[in-house]
């Protein structure tokens, strides 16, 4: 424990004015906060928490089991509170989902305390995205569209990427550039993991009927998600319960800036691979994604960021694509080019050693019923 945490502090004077300031600060704070007692009850929720959950009564909300290692570690009554970043399962009325949280362990007495659960959110737009996404989950407005991946030389379908789509409640879908970037930017992917798996299950039920029996279906998940053992258990259970064959289901790891602890990430991914789950590193070459992850992580696939595809005519970009292709070939990794929209881009990808790709040129993202119709029409 740091010297700061060990430091003793004078008990603040708790007059009515100070308590009023403190209460109102937390009540009106833009981040959602919940006070959770050790008996499992929720004692209080601030305005932001009530807003995102559309709470009328606290009884509409409950928190899943919190790890005992966290629950039993309040620290000294005179010390600064400890906190833990951890995903927590939340049940809202009749649905359950996971949320990213920071659990502040607040000692009340030497023997007891409360948990101040902060639901992580970086902006007011993020707060609105949280509310919108939770409403979509609760009202069955989460869908997945599927985009096929192809061998660029033979035309054979090699895989399918599941892409998140949220219905707007008016017969359409929210624009991809509205809600999805906020979900990514606010790192809310863990929120839709359970519902996404429910949707993927529907795809596996008709996978053979769609003529896609030998392909891998990839689901996008954040780096934060795979870093937590709880999610690894969820993915493993999904594969086991649905009798999914090895390499039929894969995870595309996004938001790789959070893969700072590559040792921990590697251990998580290794456990998933043992379950037959294929691992792809998404948006390679964008942001923090680097050769370091290829070296340190047990991945199967590198997905080249679409920025490289759209600039493939630039000589420097072409050389970089060829370099990544050679590295993947040397390490026996599959490489997929994203965002292929023209015949020229497709031809150039093949020339540079990238033989698998996806993009609007070959296939537009489609819902299951559309895939059924396309397969029937031949």
Q: Which domains does the chain show, CATH number per domain?
A: 3-120 (3.30.450.20), 126-377 (3.20.20.450)
* pLDDT computed for residue 249 by the predictor: 97
Query: What pLDDT was estimated at residue 352?
Result: 96
* pLDDT recorded at residue 4: 44
pLDDT confidence of residue 181? 65
Cα-Cα-Cα-Cα dihedral sign, residues 242, 245, 247, 248: negative
Q: Hey, what's the torsion of the CAs at 225, 227, 232, 233, to 10 degrees?
A: -100
Q: HSE-up of 256 (CA within 13 Å, CB side)?
A: 24
pLDDT (0 to 100) of residue 272:
95
- Specify the pLDDT at position 3: 45
Give the residue carrying structure tokens 């691992």.
Answer: 279
What pLDDT score does 12 carry? Answer: 56
316 vs 325: CA distance, rounded Å:
14
Q: Which helix (H) or strand (E) holds 13?
A: none
Tens-digit pLDDT profile for the chain (378 aa)?
344 444 444 455 566 777 788 888 999 999 999 999 888 889 999 999 999 999 999 999 999 878 777 777 777 777 888 888 888 889 999 899 888 889 998 887 767 788 899 988 877 877 888 898 899 999 999 999 999 999 999 999 999 999 999 898 898 888 877 666 666 655 566 788 889 999 999 999 999 999 999 899 999 988 878 888 888 899 999 999 999 999 999 999 976 656 777 888 899 999 999 999 999 998 887 655 578 888 889 999 999 989 999 999 999 999 999 999 999 999 999 999 999 999 999 999 999 999 999 999 999 999 999 999 888 776
pLDDT value of position 189: 64
**205 vs 370: CA distance, rounded Å:** 15
Q: Which two tokens stand for residue 235?
A: 């993915």
Q: Distance (Å, rounded) from C-alpha 41 to C-alpha 59?
A: 9
b/e 129-166 (16+ beta carbons within 10 angstroms → b): bbbbbbebbbeebbbbbbbbbbebeeeebbbbbbbbbb
Backbone angles phi, psi at 166, to 5 degrees: -115, 125
- Residue 66 confidence (pLDDT): 81
d(CA 196, CA 179): 16
């Amino acid at each position: 424990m740091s010297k700061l945490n060990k430091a003793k502090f004078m008990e603040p004077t708790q007059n009515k004015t100070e308590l009023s300031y403190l209460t109102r600060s937390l009540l009106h704070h833009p981040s959602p906060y919940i006070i959770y007692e050790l008996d499992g009850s929720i004692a209080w929720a601030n305005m932001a928490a009530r807003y995102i959950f559309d709470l009328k009564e606290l009884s509409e909300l409950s928190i899943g089991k919190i790890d005992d290692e966290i629950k039993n570690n309040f620290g000294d009554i005179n010390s600064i509170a400890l906190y833990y970043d951890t995903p927590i399962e939340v049940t809202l009325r009749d649905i359950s989902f996971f949320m990213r949280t920071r659990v502040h362990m607040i000692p009340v007495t030497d023997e007891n305390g409360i948990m101040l659960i902060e639901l992580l959110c970086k902006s007011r737009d993020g707060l609105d995205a949280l509310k919108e996404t939770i409403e979509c989950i609760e009202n069955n407005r989460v869908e997945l569209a599927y985009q096929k991946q192809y061998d660029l030389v033979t035309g054979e379908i090699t895989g399918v990427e599941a892409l998140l789509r949220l219905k707007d409640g008016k017969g359409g879908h929210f624009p991809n550039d509205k809600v999805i970037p906020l979900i990514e930017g606010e790192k809310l992917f863990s929120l839709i993991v359970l519902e996404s798996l429910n949707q993927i299950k529907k795809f596996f039920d008709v996978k053979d009927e769609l003529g896609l029996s030998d392909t891998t279906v990839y689901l996008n998940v954040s780096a934060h998600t795979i870093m937590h053992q709880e999610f690894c258990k969820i993915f493993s259970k999904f594969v086991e319960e649905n009798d999914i064959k090895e390499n039929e289901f894969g995870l595309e790891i996004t938001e790789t800036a959070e893969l700072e602890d590559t040792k921990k990430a590697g251990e998580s991914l290794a456990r998933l691979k043992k379950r037959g789950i294929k691992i792809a590193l998404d948006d390679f070459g964008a942001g923090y994604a680097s050769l370091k992850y290829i070296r340190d992580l047990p991945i199967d696939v590198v997905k080249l960021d679409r920025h490289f595809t759209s600039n493939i005519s630039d000589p420097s970009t072409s050389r970089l694509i060829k370099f990544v292709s050679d590295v993947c070939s040397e390490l026996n990794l599959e490489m997929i080019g994203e965002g292929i929209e023209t015949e020229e881009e497709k031809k150039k990808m093949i020339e540079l050693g990238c033989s698998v790709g996806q993009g609007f040129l070959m296939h537009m993202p489609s819902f299951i019923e559309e895939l059924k119709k396309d397969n029937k029409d031949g």
